[in-house]
């Protein structure tokens, strides 16, 4: 036998305690009456029937026992139940270009973004989540899955060395995400774009227009400083070697393009979020994603234990009813 609420069974300790209380009460009552009248007059001055009183007490104790068992929800036997799972599809497109190493957000933009996404993924449980990494090109880091633990694992190993092709292809990431979402119904899917907004001729607004035509909303999260931040270069041991420079020898300043990210979100009916100090209103973003429609993703047969608390509850209530109709007193003869 299994119990759905096993913690309720601790209250069974009250059953023997109640039994002991009744025993002491009966003994104390008999002793008090005996001291007043003596054994010869005890039966004459008291109309109470000790046997009936003890029977009523036993019935109350048993009723309590069965009612506590019923509250613990005993389960035995099983049946096959069809479980239909519905979910929305959310693609997280993460910028892993070198510009995400800028340290205007500590320890850097990418690490701050990964912390945020881990929190977001954990709150998207029950939905399918996929992860795309992009720099000069884009690829699937984690295909759409209901396995949140696996998605977190793939997110954890992301770094700027994943894609050797330099640059930032926001449009390429969006188009790749749309291909992965092509089998999902409009209104059930969305893309969350995490980037500093720098783009190298990938036509992100054209990709946004394509997303809108397919019923995909894009939510953009901007990481970085709109005024620009240098990109540090470090060796394999993490030792600082200087800042990234262009062909002219000038230090490259990575600027977050808020205007572009706002346009992408607005064009698809999504929303733009700025990571102020690396912090984003995740609750508001989750609420927005929760508004997506759900579609059937799978159906399977599960063996489910059946609740049998009704039998124990019936016994408990029946004992209470019987106890109620049993009198406590014995019939007195008319001559007494």
Confidence (pLDDT) at 334: 42
Domain that holds residue 224: 89-293
Confidence (pLDDT) at 335: 39
Report residue 65 as tokens: 């026992």
- Say how far apart CA 135 and CA 95 lie, in whole Å: 6
Q: Please name the residue that has the structure tokens 């799978």.
A: 298
Which residues are CB-contacts of 9 (< 8 A; sequence separation ≥ 6)?
Answer: 3, 68, 69, 72
Instruction: Please tell me whether residues 101 and 248 are part of one structural domain.
Output: yes
- Please count the structural domains in the chain: 2
Confidence (pLDDT) at 30: 74
- Say how far apart CA 234 and CA 245 lie, in whole Å: 13
Confidence (pLDDT) at 321: 93
Which residues are CB-contacts of 202 (< 8 A; sequence separation ≥ 6)?
Answer: 168, 169, 170, 171, 172
- Say how far apart CA 124 and CA 294 lie, in whole Å: 13
- Say how far apart CA 304 and CA 76 lie, in whole Å: 10
pTM of the model: 0.64
CB 333 within 8 A of CB 43: no
Per the document, the length of the chain is: 336
Q: How many helices (H) and strands (E) does the chain have?
A: 9, 13
Instruction: Please tell me whether residues 316 and 199 are part of one structural domain.
Output: no
- 124-158 burial: b if 16+ Cβ within 10 Å, else e: beebbbbbbbbbeebebbbebeeebeebbebbeeb
pLDDT by 10s per residue, the chain, length 336: 888 899 999 999 999 999 999 888 888 877 776 666 555 555 555 556 778 888 989 999 999 999 999 999 998 887 766 556 778 999 999 999 999 999 888 889 999 999 999 999 999 988 999 999 999 999 999 999 988 999 999 999 999 999 989 889 999 999 999 999 998 888 899 999 999 988 988 999 999 999 999 999 999 999 988 888 888 888 777 788 888 888 888 888 888 899 999 999 999 999 999 887 767 888 889 999 988 888 766 555 567 788 889 999 999 999 999 988 888 776 554 434
CATH number at residue 105: 3.40.50.410
- Say how far apart CA 280 and CA 129 lie, in whole Å: 19
Instruction: Please tell me whether residues 162 and 112 are part of one structural domain.
Output: yes
Instruction: Please tell me whether residues 164 and 15 are part of one structural domain.
Output: no
Confidence (pLDDT) at 189: 94
Instruction: Please tell me whether residues 34 and 147 are part of one structural domain.
Output: no
Instruction: Please tell me whether residues 149 and 188 are part of one structural domain.
Output: yes
Confidence (pLDDT) at 78: 76
Reference 105, options 234, 195, 230, 224; nearest CA is 224
The answer as to whether 299 is a domain residue is: no
Instruction: Please tell me whether residues 185 and 43 are part of one structural domain.
Output: no
Instruction: Please tell me whether residues 213 and 110 are part of one structural domain.
Output: yes
The answer as to whether 130 is a domain residue is: yes
Instruction: Please tell me whether residues 181 and 239 are part of one structural domain.
Output: yes
């Amino acid at each position: 036998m299994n119990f759905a609420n096993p913690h309720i069974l601790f209250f069974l300790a009250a059953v023997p305690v109640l039994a002991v209380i009744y025993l002491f009460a009966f003994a104390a009552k008999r002793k008090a009456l005996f001291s007043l009248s003596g054994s010869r007059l005890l039966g004459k001055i008291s109309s109470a029937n000790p046997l009936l009183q003890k029977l009523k007490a036993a019935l109350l104790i048993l009723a309590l026992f069965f009612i506590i068992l019923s509250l613990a929800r005993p389960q035995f036997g099983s049946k096959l139940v069809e479980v239909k799972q519905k979910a929305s599809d959310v693609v997280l497109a993460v910028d892993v270009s070198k510009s995400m190493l800028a340290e205007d957000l500590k320890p850097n933009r990418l690490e701050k973004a990964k912390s945020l996404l881990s929190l977001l993924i954990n709150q998207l449980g029950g939905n399918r989540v996929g992860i795309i990494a992009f720099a000069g090109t884009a690829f699937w880091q984690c295909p759409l899955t209901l396995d949140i633990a696996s998605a977190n694992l793939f997110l954890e190993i992301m770094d700027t060395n994943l894609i050797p092709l330099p640059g930032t292809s926001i449009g390429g990431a969006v188009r790749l995400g749309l291909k992965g979402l092509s089998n999902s119904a409009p209104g059930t899917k969305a893309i969350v774009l995490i980037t500093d907004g720098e783009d190298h001729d990938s036509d992100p607004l054209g990709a946004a227009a394509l997303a809108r035509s397919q019923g995909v909303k894009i939510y953009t999260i901007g990481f970085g400083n709109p005024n620009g931040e240098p990109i540090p270069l470090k060796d394999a041991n993490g030792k600082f070697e200087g800042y990234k420079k262009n062909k002219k020898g000038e230090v490259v300043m990575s600027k977050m393009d808020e205007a572009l990210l706002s346009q992408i979100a607005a064009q698809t009916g999504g929303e733009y979020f700025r990571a102020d100090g690396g912090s984003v209103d995740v609750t508001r973003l989750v609420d927005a994603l929760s508004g997506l429609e759900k579609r059937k993703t799978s159906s399977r047969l599960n063996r489910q234990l059946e609740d049998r608390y009704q039998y124990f509850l019936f016994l408990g209530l029946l004992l209470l009813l019987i106890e109620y109709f049993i009198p406590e007193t014995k019939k007195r003869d008319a001559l007494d």
